[in-house]
């Protein structure tokens, strides 16, 4: 079970008509919009707020947050609340804490005070984005129930009334480009002050702790959402956040933003990027996999389950090992033991050679094997297998030995369960100098050179039938990648690195490795990312 998960809401009680949201059956608050206000007395458009509240559905509630204003802002806010007591509330912060913290405290108050709320968000007090855009945001949620956030985007298109000064527009585009690169997301407009979120446990986690940025907390929200998605194996942010092109937006006189603030924003962007790499939400900090780095994170299993059917590395390694297993000439009805079967894609592939028994220490891994339809499964330690002596015709261990503290004991145990003349086919990652965050996340103890692996095998009593390095031409790429990345700090969960590649490149890499698989039938290579060996239990 996940500690955090996006919660889907039902829209059965909602109906959208033109620009209004109609909520059936009750007058419960469904949408809370936080409006942070600091010294807004001169430009607060009270008439615009009043017009919106007169026509909006009772399910929409405005929460105006006075951020320690020193002018008459609080007085004006209270007057609005007095005229619309069922539609508008005021939260008064006695000292100025900045927009980010004012929004955060407003969101937390909204979630606490209106537990019926299904959506919460924030809007700039100058109403550069009219409140009348809110129903459009909600229609997007209705049309796309999987979304967790809808954010406003100021794109000047024909038929859209977007009035923005050229200087701010171009500075904003430069900042948005850097923000996109920093986040790794193709987001057009991070800073538009109009955003709505679906209420969920991950959202509460995002807002539970103060932001590190006073100015560009919008970016920090997306960064935290992205971090949570990785920690909890949730859908990628780019698939659940939607940029809604506004119908209207205008620069409002009296903006507190100055050109020099863009430099400050750039510095804050660097700080946000560094912080969110380490960030673990408070709700997760006592979980076993966070406290104990020897427990593999559940999201790593889920990521593996989702990717190993199609990702080039898993496919190429599986096809390489299958090619070597096929040439063992196993007897009909052979028993093949897959040690460390993981999430089951490999075990499923071996079934064409005989009856496969999958063994793994993790219940999370075995549960995913069952999803694939595998039934011959056993929970067990790779150094104490739950099988009798001489029961398997072949044993396959793809990138398993490096996970085990005592690799020699594991090899002796694997020889025990093999029949005399039975074969062990195994792969291990090569070269200690390639050690990185990927190894830490996957709980590796070591990487090997071929001579070291074969020496261990002979000590355990195996005969070496064949060995080679594999994935040879990709070694230079891996070296460069390791040089550009550092081992993660100890105060955050490490992440396995399976870099996303376009479909065409994924297909090309699979085909390229098929060529290497064919070549390895006839020759051995002196270097590569992996070591592959076929070992035999003496007869």
Give me 479's structure tokens.
């070296």
Whether residues 379 and 468 share a domain: the answer is yes
pLDDT tens per residue, range 53-76: 988 888 899 999 999 999 999 999
Number of other residues whose CB lies within 10 A of the CB of residue 136: 17
CA distances from 49 to 62, 64, 256 (A): 9, 11, 21
**194 band by pLDDT with thresholds 50, 70 and 90:** very high
Cα gap 109→354, rounded to integer Å: 61
pLDDT at 2: 31
**Average pLDDT of span 189-217:** 90
Whether residues 265 and 116 share a domain: the answer is yes
Tell me if 8 is assigned to some domain. no
Residues whose CB is less than 8 angstroms from the CB of residue 525 and which lie 6 or more positions away in sequence, other chains included: 468, 469, 470, 472
Tell me if 21 is assigned to some domain. yes
Cα gap 195→123, rounded to integer Å: 7
**491 band by pLDDT with thresholds 50, 70 and 90:** very low
**Average pLDDT of span 168-186:** 78
Whether residues 195 and 310 share a domain: the answer is no
Tell me if 226 is assigned to some domain. yes
Q: Token match 């969101």: residue?
A: 107
**∠ Cα 304 309 314 (to 5°):** 70
For residue 323, which of 506, 520, 507 has the smallest C-alpha distance? 520
Tell me if 2 is assigned to some domain. no
For residue 534, which of 371, 301, 335, 330 has the smallest C-alpha distance? 330
Tell me if 288 is assigned to some domain. no
DSSP assignment, residue 284?
G
For residue 490, which of 292, 298, 282 has the smallest C-alpha distance? 292
Cα gap 454→429, rounded to integer Å: 14
Say if strands 31-37 and 119-123 run parallel, antiparallel, or are unpaired: parallel
- Residue that terminates a domain, selected from 280, 315, 333: 280
- Residue that terminates a domain, selected from 246, 280, 314: 280
Tell me if 6 is assigned to some domain. no
Domains in the chain, number: 2
The SS3 call for residue 354 is coil
* Phi and psi torsions of 460, nearest 5°: -80, -5
pLDDT tens per residue, range 239-264: 899 999 999 888 877 665 565 666 77
pLDDT tens per residue, range 283-317: 665 554 444 444 455 666 777 888 899 999 999 99
Whether residues 219 and 331 share a domain: the answer is no
- pLDDT score of 159 more than 60: yes
Whether residues 233 and 321 share a domain: the answer is no
- pLDDT score of 416 more than 90: yes
Among 84-93, 181-190, 235-244, 495-504, name the most confident range: 84-93
> Residue 112 sits in a domain of what CATH number?
3.90.550.10
- pLDDT score of 3 more than 50: no
Proportion of the chain above pLDDT 90, given as a percent: 57
- pLDDT score of 347 more than 90: yes
Q: Which residues of 209-235 are buried (b: 16+ CB within 10 A; e: fewer)?
A: eebbbebbbbbbbbbbbbbbbbbbbbe
**Average pLDDT of span 81-105:** 94
- Residue that terminates a domain, selected from 280, 310, 340: 280
Whether residues 246 and 395 share a domain: the answer is no
Whether residues 228 and 305 share a domain: the answer is no
**18 band by pLDDT with thresholds 50, 70 and 90:** very low
Whether residues 520 and 378 share a domain: the answer is yes
8 A C-beta contact, residue 398 and residue 426: yes
Whether residues 55 and 127 share a domain: the answer is yes
DSSP string, 35-95: EEESS-TTT--HHHHHHHHHHS-TTEEEEEEEES-SSSHHHHHHHHHHH-TTTEEEEEESS
* Number of residues assigned to the chain: 539
Cα gap 511→348, rounded to integer Å: 21
Whether residues 83 and 158 share a domain: the answer is yes
> Residue 472 sits in a domain of what CATH number?
3.40.50.150
pLDDT at 164: 78
Among 102-116, 301-315, 440-454, name the most confident range: 102-116
* Phi and psi torsions of 31, nearest 5°: -135, 125
pLDDT at 497: 60
Tell me if 7 is assigned to some domain. no
Whether residues 446 and 478 share a domain: the answer is yes
Whether residues 217 and 359 share a domain: the answer is no
| Domain extent at residue 64 | 14-280
Ranges 5-14, 21-30, 324-333, 430-439: which has the least confidence: 5-14
Tell me if 293 is assigned to some domain. no
Q: Which residues of 115-132 are buried (b: 16+ CB within 10 A; e: fewer)?
A: eebbbbbbbbbbbbbbbb
């Amino acid at each position: 079970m996940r500690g955090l998960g996006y919660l889907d809401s039902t829209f059965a009680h909602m109906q959208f008509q033109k620009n209004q949201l109609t909520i059936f059956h009750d007058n419960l608050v469904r949408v809370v919009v936080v409006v942070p206000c600091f010294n807004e007395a001169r430009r607060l458009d009270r008439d615009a707020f009043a017009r919106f509240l007169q026509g909006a559905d009772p399910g929409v509630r405005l929460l105006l947050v006075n951020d320690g204003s020193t002018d008459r802002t609080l007085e004006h806010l209270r007057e609005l609340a007095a005229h619309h007591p069922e539609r508008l509330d005021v939260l008064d912060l006695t000292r100025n804490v900045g927009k980010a913290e004012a929004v955060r405290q407003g969101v937390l108050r909204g979630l606490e005070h209106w537990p019926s709320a299904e959506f919460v968000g924030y809007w700039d007090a100058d109403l550069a984005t009219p409140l009348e855009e809110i129903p459009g945001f909600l229609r997007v949620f209705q049309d796309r129930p999987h979304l967790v956030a809808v954010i406003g985007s100021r794109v000047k298109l024909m038929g859209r009334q977007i009035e923005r000064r050229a200087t701010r527009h171009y500075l904003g585009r430069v900042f948005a480009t850097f923000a996109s690169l920093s986040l790794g997301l193709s987001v057009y407009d991070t800073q538009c002050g109009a955003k709505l979120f679906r209420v969920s446990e991950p959202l509460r986690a995002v807002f539970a702790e103060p932001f590190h940025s006073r100015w560009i907390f919008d970016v920090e929200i997306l960064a935290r959402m992205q971090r949570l998605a990785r920690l909890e194996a949730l859908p990628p942010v780019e698939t659940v956040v939607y940029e809604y092109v506004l119908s209207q937006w205008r620069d409002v006189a009296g903006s507190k933003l100055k050109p020099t603030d863009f430099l400050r924003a750039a510095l804050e962007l660097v700080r946000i990027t560094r912080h969110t790499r380490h960030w673990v939400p408070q709700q997760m900090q006592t979980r076993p996999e966070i406290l104990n780095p020897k427990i593999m994170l559940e999201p790593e299993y889920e990521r593996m389950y989702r990717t190993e059917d199609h990702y080039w590395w898993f496919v190429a390694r599986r096809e390489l090992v299958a090619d070597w297993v096929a040439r063992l000439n196993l007897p009909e009805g052979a028993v093949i033991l897959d040690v460390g079967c993981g999430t089951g894609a490999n075990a499923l592939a071996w079934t064409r050679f005989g009856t496969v028994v999958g063994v793994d220490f993790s219940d999370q891994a075995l549960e995913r094997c069952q999803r694939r339809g595998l039934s011959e499964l056993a929970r067990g330690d790779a150094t104490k297998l739950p099988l009798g002596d001489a029961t398997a015709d072949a044993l396959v261990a793809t990138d398993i030995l490096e996970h085990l503290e005592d690799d020699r004991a594991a090899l002796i145990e694997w020889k025990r369960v093999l029949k005399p003349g039975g074969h062990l086919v195994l792969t291990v990652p090569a070269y200690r100098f390639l050690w990185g965050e990927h190894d830490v996340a996957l709980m590796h103890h070591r990487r090997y050179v071929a001579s070291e692996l074969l020496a261990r095998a002979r000590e355990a009593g195996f005969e070496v039938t064949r060995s080679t390095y594999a994935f040879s031409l990709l070694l230079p790429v891996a070296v460069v990648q390791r040089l550009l990345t550092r081992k993660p700090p100890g105060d955050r969960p490490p992440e396995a690195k399976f870099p996303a590649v376009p479909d065409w490149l994924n297909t090309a890499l699979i085909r390229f490795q098929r060529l290497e698989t064919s070549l390895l039938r006839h020759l051995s290579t002196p270097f590569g990312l992996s070591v592959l060996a076929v070992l035999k239990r003496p007869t």
